[in-house]
Amino acid sequence: MSLLISRHDAVADEHVVVGGFAHLAEALPAPDAPDSHNRLLLLPMTLRAHGIDSSLEIFTCQRPVKFFSDGPFTGFVGDGWVYGQALLNEADFVGDESESPLSALASFAYEHVLAPSLPLNGMNLARCWNYLPDINGLENNLERYRWFNIGRHAAFARHGRLPHRAAAHAVPAACALGVGGNKVGISFLGVDGALTAIENGNQISAYDYPHDYGPKAPMFSRAVRTSISGAPCLFVSGTASITGHQTMHKGDVTAQTDLAIDHIEHLLAQLIEPFSASNSYVKAYVRYPEDCDDVLDVLRTRWPQVMERGKLSVLIADICRNDLDVEIELCCGLLAATK
């Protein structure tokens, strides 16, 4: 595989870092010059790691890679992939009466991501990560995550990428989490392989959610199967305790974790490839620090091999619905060997 995900202390000597997520601001090393192959394009998110050394997760590859800069995004292009990310300040976006600065920011950012030239440069948008300050807060009587969805939806619509107007694979896997600070972090991965969107029959597709969850639906698939330079991989979106479109097990983080794992296993069971949690990089976001041990207990019981070194991050973050307390995502086929 030409692109791998690992912890910061498990990078092979012949690999270079091309991007990733620094979940503790103090963990950020100083970046090299923009033209350096070793430049660290890391998002300093004020998420907190729990119990394990997972403050820095990174994408690595072997040379050669090419640096790019397009609008707010910087990143690298490698053999069969492009990875880019941006930190944006809401104060730089002024909306009219019908939108918020966050909506305008999301529209602007995804307009760049979906552009046919740079940064995707003809590759397929497989995965997006979105980190929003105060994701559950209200702005003009509407939850901020719902404002974000309005802007993201507008960009997909302008590019003819709504799932009912184009192939369903036009919608990437994604997550959206609440973080501290005052900047929005958006990161994306484009690949050269064709995309196959995978939905869960036990959940309504996110892009079909009713207006109970906002004027515009979220733009993501439950999972996306694809390949990078011919090597298969799978991205499972942030998955939570939702059946149909309704939140289940409110206030019970153990039951919510169990149901999220049930949903992920249902997605994995649809595939012919031997993808599983045991050969994946797993990330669990937990709303309340005091719930982390309960989430880890469920993971230890259901997916014991995930507890091995280098396969799991547990992070404190707000979930995109205020009645959800845990969300789990997987990256399959890119896991680097641990040292």
| DSSP 8-class letter at 171 | S
327 assigned to active site: yes
207: three-class secondary structure by DSSP: helix
Measure the CA–CA gap between 47 and 289, rounded to whole angstroms: 11
Measure the CA–CA gap between 189 and 231, rounded to whole angstroms: 15
Measure the CA–CA gap between 203 and 245, rounded to whole angstroms: 6
331 neighbors 230 (Cβ within 8 angstroms): no
Write the CB contacts of 81 (distance below 8 Å, at least 6 apart in sequence).
2, 3, 61, 123, 189, 190, 191, 192, 228, 229
CA nearest 196: which of 267, 112, 265? 267
Tokens matching residue 4? 């791998």
Tokens matching residue 118? 């740079």
Tokens matching residue 300? 């230890």
CA nearest 23: which of 11, 36, 8? 8
CA nearest 42: which of 53, 52, 57, 54? 57
Residue 127: CA atoms inside 13 Å, Cβ hemisphere, count?
25
40 neighbors 17 (Cβ within 8 angstroms): yes
3: phi > 0 → left, psi -120 to 50 → alpha, else beta; which? beta
Catalytic-labelled residue, pool 57, 99, 199, 327 = 327
Catalytically active residues, by annotation: 327
